[in-house]
Amino acid sequence: MIKDAMGCDGIVLIAWEHQDIPGIANLILGNSTAVPQKWPGDRFDIVWIFDLQNDAYVFSQVPQRLLAGDGNTVISSDG
C-alpha cells in the first residue's frame, strides 16, 4: 500500500487503525524518529500530513477542530 500511495500523483488519503498509523508513517518517511510512535486511543481529531518537498517527505500534524471537544494540540512524541 505504501509503495502504491507514494507512487501516486496528487493527494492520497490513508485511513487506518490507530496502532498501525505510526508504522505506516515510518515507512513513508524512512525512519522511526520523525513521528510519535504511539497514537493515543482517544484521538480522532487530527490528521498527519506528509508533503513531498525536494524528493523527501516532510511531516506535520493538523488538529481538525470539527466537533465540540476536539483538541487543538498535536500528538506528542510520548503519546
pLDDT tens-digit readout, 9-60: 999 999 999 999 999 999 999 999 999 999 999 999 999 999 999 999 999 9
Residue 78: the pLDDT is: 75
Q: Is the pLDDT reported for residue 79 higher than 70? A: no
**Cα–Cα distance, 59 to 34 (Å, whole number):** 7
Whether the pTM exceeds 0.85: the reply is yes
The domain locations on the chain are: 2-63
- The answer to whether the Cα torsion of 22, 8, 66, 63 is positive or negative is positive
**Cα–Cα distance, 60 to 66 (Å, whole number):** 18
Q: Where are the beta strands (DSSP E) in 7-68?
A: 46-53, 56-63
The gap between the terminal CA atoms of the chain, to the nearest Å, is: 25
- Looking at every residue in the chain, the average pLDDT score rounds to 94
